[in-house]
Structure formats: structure tokens, C-alpha cells
């Protein structure tokens, strides 16, 4: 075991689009492990769009990421030192370890570190389909959209960790699942691997009218539920095809992350179609996590919930991988392998 930890800190806040200069790699000595604490060697770091929001200082649902501190992030790893009776060396764990190789945890705090079983589910999946992204998709689909058999559910960023779960969970419930993704390769994967009924390559559509026409073709009975990861033109187009009593789960608006204006063209459609639009943050609904993780874990273990990972190698690759994620360059759940 090396005696140093390496971590990536936020060096500066982005003005508009973030860049590699906003991050810095820092070496720190490995901390002492006190009574009640556990030292975890992180195996995988999860990169997620929400991190972009934390990099800015503007008002959002969470406090901004502090400067010159390790970037926030979900991790899976293995306990390497334990001075806590609930954890043993070798335990596989999931937690919020941040962008670093080692994490010291006050393991008596409830919920900060969870032991996970890797018999049927691979460790990295606890950062994706059986982790925060999976539960995010589950919450928006089950608790907000609540699709009925025969209804049509549309999801943007369909090849991603959240979107992929949304469509597959919709299929399990007997709904028609239509994805939106960028590029023919991602769309093929969404249909052929994940089993969606259709996937629209939004890059082939330059305006709302064209995209709405494509949605009309793939959703002949209209749209009953929409899981929003993107915002902007896609939401406008979906609203033009929304059915009466349709539901929109608003999970991400990546189109506006750098401060671009992303007005909603026709809010009167919310009234005309008696729509419900609801924003949510999955970490505020911890009460549903056990139910969600049970379904997600079972579906992954039985091969019914498929996912794909985009793995960057080594901590130093994290900033570039994150910038690529914001541009949609990843293909599947973006991870960084740290070991």
C-alpha cells in the first residue's frame, strides 16, 4: 500500500463551459485511521452531470463544491483498514468518496458507507444501474410518470445510465419506450441492446418541428410520460406530442448547465393537456431507495436490466472524462477506474 493519497480538487469555477484548468491533481499523505473510522481504497469513481451544477456558485438545490477541496463524487471500493466493528478489511463498499484514491470515513455515521454484495452484481454497477443513476431513473419513472401498460414513455439521454434504466423499467411495466440519443451508434444500442421500441437520433433534427415530427412517427399514440435529462429543444418537441394527463419527470437540464437560456416555448400546453411537470433530486427521497435498489438489483442479477460502462483509466483522466460526459462523448455510465 502506497503511503500517499492522490485527489482532484476544484481549482477555480468555470465562466461558462468548464475546462481542465478548473481542476488540479494534489498528492496528500494517507490519513491516520482513528477509532470508529475506516480507510477505503476506491476502485471506481462515478462521474455524473450533477457535478457541473456544484462547480458553479449560483443558487441551486445543493451547496456549491468548495474550492481547493476534493471534488464530490460517488465511489465503490474496498475497506483496507478498519477501526470500526461494522466493517472488516476486504468488505466491498459504496459511498461518496470523492475524486480520490483513498477515503477516510467516520463509519459510525449512518448511511455514509454501505456494504454491498458482489456475488451477482458487479461492484461497478453500484455506481450505475444499482446505484444513484438507477434509483434516479426508477424514482422519476415509478413515482412521477407511473406508466400504465400500453402508455408511451420517452426519455432523453437514453443510452446513459439513468435513461437506459428508465426505458427498461418502462418496458417491464408494459409501456412503449422511446429513447432520444445522439448518434446512430447510441441509438442502435438503445434499441438492440437495451430493448427500447425505438430511439431517435436528435442530432439529425435541427429544429423543434423536425424533432416533433420524428416523435410523432415513433409515438403514434402520443406521449404519456417524459423523463427529462436534457432540456431545451427536446422538451419543446415532446410537449407538442404530449397527451392529456401526461407526466414529465424533470431530472436534468444539461442544455442549460453553462448558463445558456433555455426557455420553454409553450407553457400553455401544460394547461391545455393538463400535464404535470415535477422536478426531483433523488437524494431527497431516501425512503424509496430500498424498494428501488431491490428491483434494480434483481433485474441486473437476472440479466433483465442491461447497462454499459465507459471507463476512463486512472484518477488523472477524470477531468477529461467529465468534460466529455458534459458533451455526450461517453457511451454508457461514465466511470473512472482508480486501481
Over the Cα atoms of the chain, what is R_g? 20
Interatomic CA distance for residues 310 and 79, integer angstroms: 25
d(CA 230, CA 281): 15
261 interacts with its own copies by CB under 8 A: yes
Distance between CA atoms of 214 and 21, rounded to whole angstroms? 39
CB of 168 to its own copies, least distance (A): 23
User: Within its chain, how far is the Cα of 88 from the centroid?
Assistant: 29
* Separation CA 245–CA 233 (nearest Å): 21
Contact between 272 and its own copies by CB under 8 A: the answer reads yes
Q: Are strands 198-201 and 176-181 parallel, antiparallel or unpaired?
A: parallel
Among 66, 150, 267, 314, binds its own copies (CB under 8 A): 267
Question: Which residue number, 149 or 271, has a Cβ lying nearer to its own copies?
Answer: 271
Give the residue from 11, 30, 32, 31 showing the smallest Cα distance to 22: 11
Candidate ranges 99-107, 121-129, 160-168, 249-257; the one touching its own copies (CB under 8 A): 249-257
What is the pattern of x (binds its own copies, CB under 8 A) and - over residues 277-316? xxxxx--x--------------------------------
Give the interface segment with its own copies, choosing from 119-127, 173-181, 275-283, 331-339 (CB under 8 A): 275-283
3-state secondary structure of 126: helix
Taking CB under 8 A as the rule, does residue 262 contact its own copies?
A: yes
* Residue 233, strand partner residues: none
**Rule CB under 8 A: is residue 90 a binding residue for its own copies?**
no
- Region binding its own copies by CB under 8 A among candidate stretches 70-78, 101-109, 152-160, 271-279: 271-279
Q: Is 123 in the site for its own copies (CB under 8 A)?
A: no
| Footprint on this chain of its own copies (rule: CB under 8 A) | 59-61, 231, 235, 244, 250-253, 256, 261-268, 270-281, 284
Amino acid at each position: 500500500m502506497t503511503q500517499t493519497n492522490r485527489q482532484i480538487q476544484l481549482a477555480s469555477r468555470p465562466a461558462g463551459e468548464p475546462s481542465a484548468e478548473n481542476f488540479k491533481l494534489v498528492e496528500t499523505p494517507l490519513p491516520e485511521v482513528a477509532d470508529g473510522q475506516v480507510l477505503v481504497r476506491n476502485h471506481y469513481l462515478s462521474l455524473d452531470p450533477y457535478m457541473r451544477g456544484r462547480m458553479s456558485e449560483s443558487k441551486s438545490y445543493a451547496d456549491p463544491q468548495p474550492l481547493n477541496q476534493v471534488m464530490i463524487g460517488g465511489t465503490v471500493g474496498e475497506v483496507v483498514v478498519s477501526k470500526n466493528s461494522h466493517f472488516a478489511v476486504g468488505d466491498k463498499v459504496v459511498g461518496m468518496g470523492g475524486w480520490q484514491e483513498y477515503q477516510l470515513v467516520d463509519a459510525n455515521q449512518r448511511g455514509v458507507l454501505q456494504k454491498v454484495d458482489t456475488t451477482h452484481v458487479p461492484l461497478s454497477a453500484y455506481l450505475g444501474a444499482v446505484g444513484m443513476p438507477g434509483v434516479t431513473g426508477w424514482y422519476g419513472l415509478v413515482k412521477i410518470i407511473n406508466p400504465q401498460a400500453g402508455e408511451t414513455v420517452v426519455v432523453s439521454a437514453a443510452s446513459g445510465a439513468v435513461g437506459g434504466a428508465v426505458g427498461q423499467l418502462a418496458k417491464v411495466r408494459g409501456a412503449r419506450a422511446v429513447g432520444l440519443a445522439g448518434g446512430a451508434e447510441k441509438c442502435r444500442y438503445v434499441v438492440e441492446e437495451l430493448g427500447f421500441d425505438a430511439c431517435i437520433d436528435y442530432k439529425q433534427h435541427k429544429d423543434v418541428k423536425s424533432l416533433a415530427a420524428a416523435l410523432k412517427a415513433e409515438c403514434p399514440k402520443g406521449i404519456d410520460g417524459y423523463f427529462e435529462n436534457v432540456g431545451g429543444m427536446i422538451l419543446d418537441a415532446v410537449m407538442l406530442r404530449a397527451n392529456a394527463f401526461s407526466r414529465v419527470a424533470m431530472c436534468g437540464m444539461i442544455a442549460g448547465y453553462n448558463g445558456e437560456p433555455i426557455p420553454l416555448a409553450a407553457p400553455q400546453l401544460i394547461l391545455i393537456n393538463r400535464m404535470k411537470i415535477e422536478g426531483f433530486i433523488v437524494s431527497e427521497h431516501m425512503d424509496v431507495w430500498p424498494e428501488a435498489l431491490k428491483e434494480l438489483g434483481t433485474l441486473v442479477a437476472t440479466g433483465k436490466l442491461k447497462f454499459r460502462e465507459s471507463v476512463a483509466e486512472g484518477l488523472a483522466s477524470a477531468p477529461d472524462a467529465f468534460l466529455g460526459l458534459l458533451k455526450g462523448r461517453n457511451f454508457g455510465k461514465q466511470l473512472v477506474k482508480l486501481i
